[in-house]
Amino acid sequence: MDTADHLLRLFRYDIWANEQILLSLQDHLGFEGSDRAVKYFAHITGSQQMWFARINGESVDEIKIWPDYGLADALQHLKTLNQQWKQLINSNKESLGRTISYTNSKGTPYETPLSDILTHVIIHGQHHRAQIAKLLRNAKVAPPATDFIFFSRSN
């Protein structure tokens, strides 16, 4: 499997895992910590919007890294972004190692290979899904299994 195919698979995993978390949150809204869980879920969206804009050299001034999205809006944005990520990967199959220049939220300039940014997007989402899972567990709700291996076994 080449890098592009691997990244495409990871982004298929990412939207699957986000859908699993969304379903669990929808079924259990109102638990202690649910507001924080929804904020984490919306943050996954905001951070993907930020990274997509950075990669494309677009302004990030209007993007909120912690947007005030409800679950349905966040998932719809994530589905749209997922299609955009797939298009980006497919159109850059031969240049996934190219350097992306951007400025972080503190104004510090960086240069990072595109493939590393794409990998970061996936890992960052998993980090926040794990935070949501912990909030669910703390509320005595069994979180969905979103580890990659569960996706792999079903796909």
What is the reported pTM? 0.95
Q: Which domains does the chain have, with CATH numbers?
A: 3-154 (1.20.120.450)
- Answer whether 141's CB lies under 8 Å from 28's CB: yes
Dist CA 144 CA 64 (whole Å): 27
Q: Rounded to the nearest 5°, which phi and psi values hold at 37?
A: -60, -45
* Residue 6 marked ligand-binding: no
Pairing of strands 99-103, 109-113: antiparallel
Amino acid at 139: A
* Residue 120 marked ligand-binding: no
Residue 127: pLDDT band (50, 70, 90) is: very high
Q: What is the pLDDT of residues 52-65, one digit of tens each?
A: 999 999 999 999 99
With H, G, I as helix, E, B as strand and everything else as coil, classify residue 104: coil
The secondary structure element, H or E, covering residue 61 is none
Q: What is the pLDDT of residues 6-47, one digit of tens each?
A: 999 999 999 999 999 999 999 998 999 999 999 999 999 999
* Residue 127 marked ligand-binding: no
